[in-house]
Amino acid sequence: MAKIHRLHGRNLRRDHFMIDRLLHQPKTTVLARSSVFTLSANIFATYLLNASYYASGFPVPYQGAQLSFSAPRLKGWYAQLIDFGKLDV
């Protein structure tokens, strides 16, 4: 007779517990591969965004612009764009 386990207030036979665990718990290789893919996608996207910021003449890279919460800095950056004729406002 199979051993009975208690999980979340339910009685589970040992074989059902193992199958459930295997189906809902990702393997280390899957996690490693998805982490590498995600990091690569992030690096590629950052490269594209930095290139587009550089091409537009924006004075700072993407990360610097997105993470700056200083109104005087933002005004200064946009003032530079206006002075260089990059924004036809």
Rounded Cα distance, 3 and 12, in Å = 8
Residue 83 host element (H or E): helix 71-83
Global confidence as pTM: 0.57
Q: How does pLDDT run across 74-85, given as a tens digit for each residue?
A: 899 888 888 888
Q: How does pLDDT run across 5-21, given as a tens digit for each residue?
A: 555 555 556 556 666 66
The values of phi and psi at residue 60, to 5°, are -130, 160
How many CB atoms are closer than 10 A to CB 82? 12
Q: How does pLDDT run across 45-76, given as a tens digit for each residue?
A: 999 999 998 888 888 888 888 888 889 998 99
**Which of 42, 44, 43, 74 is closest to 58 using CA atoms?**
74
The single-letter code of the amino acid at 41 is A
The single-letter code of the amino acid at 34 is S
